[in-house]
Amino acid sequence: MVTGRDSLFVSLLILLHSLTSESAKFEVLGPTEPIVAVAGDDIILPCYLKPNISVEDMTVDWRNLDFVNDPVYLYQNGKIILEDQNPSYRGRTSLFKEELWRGNTSLKLTRVQGNDEGLYECLIKSPSWYEDVQIQVFVKAVGSRPVVSIEGHREGGMGLVCQSEGWHPEPDLVWLDSKGVNLSAETSETHRDLKGFYTIKRHVIVQETDTNRFTCRVLQRRINEEVETEVHIPSELFDYTTPWRLSFLVSFPLGVICVIGLALTVYWIHKKKGAKIDQLNLKLTSIK
């Protein structure tokens, strides 16, 4: 039989359990808009608890979901766990330890690289509750001014190659004539280095024009950036390196020499024959 005193005690236990459970719950908040980071800069990925309770005895697990198996940063039982950290983030991540007591679990990421782009997760776990927030990070890197090199005559024209490096995201490369018209060119070659930055290269064969001016333009539309280099090719290079002209310049003198040589040979043969005929006539005259 439950007495009034027992009923009150049970009610108090239920209320206490309810209050304890509610106090153990929290929200994890972060930015609602993507973060755009410039390569080489330091950035902060905001993440904090509501209410502002201490996370010193909780787990703070930061991950780039493109590398979900390797934590970006892991704080657990009051310690930083480095054993399983993604190697590309080592020495570049940290929390604000003096702010942990009031629920600030923001991550500082230094010397941003191309590979740092991705969807990040900030996961906070207590013994009785867990929650996370996701943050999109974009990385912006404007590459070097294009370097143009002359490769020499190719297929009746002049071969050019253009290269630019240090881009993110992957850019496009176009060749233009002096009027801004796209030139037909080979497929672009791209390479991504260990830090996630792109190098792009493209070959083109150009024909002689009234200006002989050509432009290599590298552009990245997502970040609205472009750089270009203009090159002028002297007409003399076309005049003396175009294959059919070079062949003509070599073969014409040789042809002239051959013709002169042939004429001299014919002349010498005829002269020799004439001399023999004269000698024969002289002999015949002597016999008479």
For residues 133 and 30, is the Cβ–Cβ distance under 8 A?
Answer: yes
Residues 178 and 132 reside in one and the same domain: no
**Cβ neighbours of residue 130 closer than 8 Å, sequence gap 6 or more:** 123, 124
Confidence at residue 268, expressed as pLDDT on a 0 to 100 scale: 61
Q: Which helix (H) or strand (E) holds 238?
A: helix 235-241
Enter the tokens of residue 105: 């679990």
Cα 184 from chain centroid (whole Å) = 22
∠ CA 277-281-286, rounded to 5°? 150
Let me know how long the chain is. Answer: 288
Confidence at residue 270, expressed as pLDDT on a 0 to 100 scale: 56
Residues 132 and 223 reside in one and the same domain: no
163 domain-assigned: yes
131 domain-assigned: yes
267 domain-assigned: yes
CATH of the domain at 96: 2.60.40.10
The closest of 118, 132, 111 to 35, measured between CA atoms, is: 118
**Mean pLDDT of successive 10-residue segments in the chain (288 residues)?**
49 39 78 96 98 95 89 94 92 96 97 97 96 97 97 89 98 96 94 97 95 97 96 84 46 52 58 50 41
Confidence at residue 236, expressed as pLDDT on a 0 to 100 scale: 86
pTM across the whole model: 0.73
Quote the number of domains for the chain: 3
- Grouping H, G, I as helix, E, B as strand and the rest as coil, residue 105 is coil
Q: Looking up tokens 């309810």, which residue turns up?
A: 18
- Grouping H, G, I as helix, E, B as strand and the rest as coil, residue 11 is helix
Residues 157 and 114 reside in one and the same domain: no
7 domain-assigned: no
**Of 110, 139, 168, which one is at a domain's C-terminal end?**
139
**Of 139, 165, 190, which one is at a domain's C-terminal end?**
139
Query: Can you give the C-alpha Rg of the chain in angstroms?
Result: 41
Between CA 286 and CA 265 the distance in angstroms is 32
For residues 139 and 64, is the Cβ–Cβ distance under 8 A?
Answer: no
What range defines the domain where residue 232 resides? 147-241
13 domain-assigned: no
20 domain-assigned: no
Between CA 222 and CA 207 the distance in angstroms is 33
Residues 129 and 161 reside in one and the same domain: no
104 domain-assigned: yes
**Of 85, 117, 139, which one is at a domain's C-terminal end?**
139
Confidence at residue 69, expressed as pLDDT on a 0 to 100 scale: 78
Where residue 186 falls (left for φ over 0; alpha for ψ -120 to 50; beta otherwise) is beta
Residues 236 and 266 reside in one and the same domain: no
Residues 131 and 158 reside in one and the same domain: no
Q: Looking up tokens 């062949």, which residue turns up?
A: 247
Confidence at residue 68, expressed as pLDDT on a 0 to 100 scale: 73
Residues 185 and 93 reside in one and the same domain: no
Residues 214 and 265 reside in one and the same domain: no
Between CA 278 and CA 94 the distance in angstroms is 112
Residues 201 and 229 reside in one and the same domain: yes
Strands 172-176 and 213-220: antiparallel
Residues 171 and 198 reside in one and the same domain: yes
Residues 35 and 135 reside in one and the same domain: yes
For residues 214 and 233, is the Cβ–Cβ distance under 8 A?
Answer: yes
Strands 147-154 and 157-167: antiparallel
One-letter amino acid at 98 equals E
Residues 222 and 286 reside in one and the same domain: no
Confidence at residue 22, expressed as pLDDT on a 0 to 100 scale: 42
For residues 141 and 197, is the Cβ–Cβ distance under 8 A?
Answer: yes
233 domain-assigned: yes
